Chains A and B, each alone.
Chain A
């Protein structure tokens, strides 16, 4: 088991190098001169521009830029963004906000998805099941930015139940509506996955045996149906955490959340290479680590699974 975990961590090295190289190259290839763009409508001051180019190594060829960036990472200096703030500080500011948002979305989709999915599965073919299935199909079918604006307008503006936009502090209360919007798509998937899994397990022989032992219906459902049904669901949820962090761009845009997505979008449009690469690399690492955790969780949930070296 320890060997397995070590092996998985060693895999992070090529993933890290590959991801940074790829993203750096993409940013490098963006058309236009970011420094010129910084001057906006004003005339370009060549001396300032040259100094900035030197400061951000933009006068160097691609490989030198990339290697200098790597060197920075290993000396714990990620450099500065175009407004002169250290990138490390920017990361420290935006990641907690998005992490909070993603975890809230995850809790929302897990709790409601599993409860609704379980009830729908146990009442397969009944009214509740049919309603929930159709509703989940609608949620999956409508793009997230439509859902986002719709909920922002009805719940936030018209009904006033929640704030339509998020303050710069991005408190838990502020993030409730964005988290629901962010989690809605996955909520529908969790619901359907739970439902399918429950239906499959309900007809399993061991469930019948559990009933024959004289267990109450509640216990049969909780211990023998739900527990077994959750194995694929939890796998999905774990992998989804990484996807939620990276996929929050649209939601953050709608609700003006000061998180990773907004900052990343700004960095991309401004051609801030080091900022884009840093944010994306952290996202990739979160994704890889959360996948590792899912695999370990999987082995813990299902004792039949063993990871050999």
Chain B
């Protein structure tokens, strides 16, 4: 992996977007080299904070040049003490940032047909991806899904970037009533998709991967696993993934991921250690 930096960032802007907050921050040296699908980690609550674990955020937008040098945007969904603290930051506050981290999406060499699928604010890393796919002459069709309208993220923005966009909500408050899995099969067929890129909750990724594999379409899924360190040392963010040699291993979402081939993750077994995993306990003797 390329250079990873630890920097003090300055908050430039915090704004609401539906249920979420979009935070712009300076990230000199990070914004310039970040690739689509990579993430940053941010320490919560300042130097004396009782929150010891960093939170990870997909890099949403990047601007490599400007008044502030390299800047980037993240999307924050408040669901705990840390993210609440982060959403309360204001312009000129500083943040301890590490990045860019993780394995990015891999991009096609030729102008193929791509479908990008985002669940909730999982769409955050897909914007830069869509841009780069368009730059390569790819057709980009987008599907954004969420439980309800205000939990969708970036519909208007993505409308500009994608060739076409489909929106689903579980409650039918906007777009098609249902979820992304309901519309994906037909879309893959209609646009003759070669690649599906997805980011969102585990259940959605499992469905997207299953549909893609069934339709013999290559899929890349970016997982949202809880991480303690984000840099590959703590071994908390593991999930069972099949390697090139056909062997399942517990691999790290932070460094081996967060982007995985959809057909390699054992989605149904996430949260467990399958019996045939490399180094798995023998008949439950070990833990």
Q: Does A associate with B in a complex?
A: no
